[in-house]
Structure 1
Amino acid sequence: MSTLFSKIAAGEIPSYKCAESDKFYAFLDIDPVTKGHTLVVPRKEVDYIFDMEDADLAEFEVFAKRVARAIKAAFPCKKVAQIVLGLEVNHAHIHLLPMNSEADVDFKHHVKLTEEEFKEIAEKIRKEFK
């Protein structure tokens, strides 16, 4: 059975796509902690990131690094935080969040964005993704 993230990566559920490859997909979190909060997922279903084969995990991290660089270029910040958490979706994923302080990665606080803002943010990241 396909996970929510598999359906998003396959285009069966709409998303604000930021980047993709044949193995990975990056899209905006619909309940973002910060502007630019992006999720990166493998297209291959695996529940737990550390259950991934070593080579796949290495490729996943390199793809996430490329997305993080695009986020940093689109939203100037000190760093892009990488966070692996989440029990709500049984599909490995990485959260990438632009940050200027540790307070920027507090998952108790979220920003509200309009559909137009989501589209603009995703487009900025896509333009910077190389």
Structure 2
Amino acid sequence: MENLVEDCLFCKIIRGEVPSYTVFENDDVKAFLDISQVNPGHTLMIPKKHIVNMFDYTDEDAKRYLQYIPEIANAIKKAFPNVTGMNITTNNGKSANQVVMHSHIHFIPRFEGDGVQLVTRNNADQYDDTKYKEVAEKIKKEF
């Protein structure tokens, strides 16, 4: 448990000051049910180090904490055999709807006909070959 913050909800959950419905825990991460339960089994995984979001992960952090994603996803799928898919998402920053400023991964089990909709938009009609290449090059040069 590294660099935990006093007033962070998820740090409080890690310290046991706030109860949670834990489904998996080890020295690196804690996974527990999201109180919203978009669908049964909706789980959050958090690092036991206070990291605000993906923009703050080091390569070492990513290797240490994100390795558990497949294991948690598969446990949820096995627990609910009628799962037909799963949204594995993270919101990074307020404009991306991050509410708790401690990195967390959502595992939202999906069931055929569950009615859950994650809203996106298709802007393909605003792009041509030149614009796609321009955007791709802008990102490529940052690696």
TM-score by length of 1: 0.74
- Aligned pair 1:88/2:99, yes or no? yes
> For the structure 1 residues 60 and 101, does the alpha-carbon distance in structure 2 shift closer, same or farther, using more than 3 Å as the test?
farther
Deviations for 1:49-74, whole angstroms, at most 9, x for unmatched residues? 23111122133222122111100000
Aligned residues: 108
Higher relative contact order (CA 8 A, sep 6+): 1
User: Residue 103 and residue 58 in structure 1: after superposition, are their counterparts in 2 closer, same or farther (change >3 A)?
Assistant: farther
Q: Which position in structure 2 is the counterpart of 1:113? A: none
Name which of 25, 39, 47 aligns with 2:30: 25
Cα RMSD over matched residues?
2.1
CA deviation map 1:1-40 (0-9, x unaligned): 3310011122111000000110100000011110000000
Q: Is the 8 A contact 1:27 1:38 kept in 2?
A: yes
Q: Which residue in the other structure is 1:46 paired with?
A: 51
Identity %: 38
TM-superposed deviation, 1:101 = 5.0
Alignment of 1:87-126 (within 5 A): 87-100=98-111, 105-106=116-117
Mapped contact 1:81–1:105 kept (Cα < 8 A): no
Residue 78 of structure 2 aligns with which residue?
73
Bigger radius of gyration, 1 or 2? 2
Q: Please give the TM-score of this superposition, normalised by the length of structure 2.
A: 0.67
Match of 2:11 among 6, 19, 22: 6
- Whichever residue aligns with residue 106 of structure 1, its letter is Q
Q: Which of 34, 44, 54 is matched with 2:39 structurally?
A: 34
Distance 2:63 2:116 in 1: 24
1:7/1:74 CA distance change after superposition, 3 Å: same
Write out the 4+ residue segments of structure 1 that deviate beyond 4 Å after TM superposition: 101-105
Residues 84 and 94 of structure 1 are in contact (CA less than 8 Å); yes or no, is this contact kept in structure 2? yes
